[in-house]
Amino acid sequence: MRWTPAGIALAGVLAGCGLNVQSADLFLLTRVGQGSRLSLLVNDGGKIRCDGGRPRRLSDPWLLQARDLASALDGDAKESLKLPSARNSVYRYTVHLQNGTVSFPDTATAGGKFPALARAELFAVRAAQQACGLLALAARLRGVLHLTHRFIL
């Protein structure tokens, strides 16, 4: 079999197409309020960007949690769930997914009414500490972690 110059060029282009494939983003979670802003961009290929920094690898258990969280929030995102902040709110979370956006205050998870939102808060705190290495943030959010963890167990 003989290769023509056009065939070689086409084969090179097709081979090069697979080298730069990027995975879709699962979600962008942001947290604003007292203290520093937090931004977590998680993609389906197992990468997380913390506060716009370089991509970091997520372990398989973290990736599974992120996928599960995206799936759990999908219905609320399609409905564009936006809960108002209460007077005692400290933080506001926004999660952008492929099918929409969810926005809620940290107080929305009290009483266990929104377990997926509580899981989003918990993911934010733990990912900031463990996957991103933002230890100071985790220390400031210790109270939020404790409250959130109570409602999802």
Q: What is the pTM of this model?
A: 0.75
Q: Report pLDDT digits (tens) over 108-149.
A: 988 888 999 999 999 999 999 988 887 654 455 555 555 555
Per domain, the residue ranges of the chain are: 24-152
How far apart CA 42 and CA 136 sit, in angstroms, is: 21
Q: Report pLDDT digits (tens) over 21-51.
A: 678 999 999 999 987 899 999 999 999 999 9
Q: Which residues contact 61 (CB under 8 A, 6 or more apart)?
A: none
Class of residue 147 by CB neighbours under 10 A (exposed 0-12, middle 13-18, buried 19+) = middle
Strand residues in 19-124 grouped as ranges (E): 25-33, 38-43, 47-50, 55-57, 91-97, 100-105
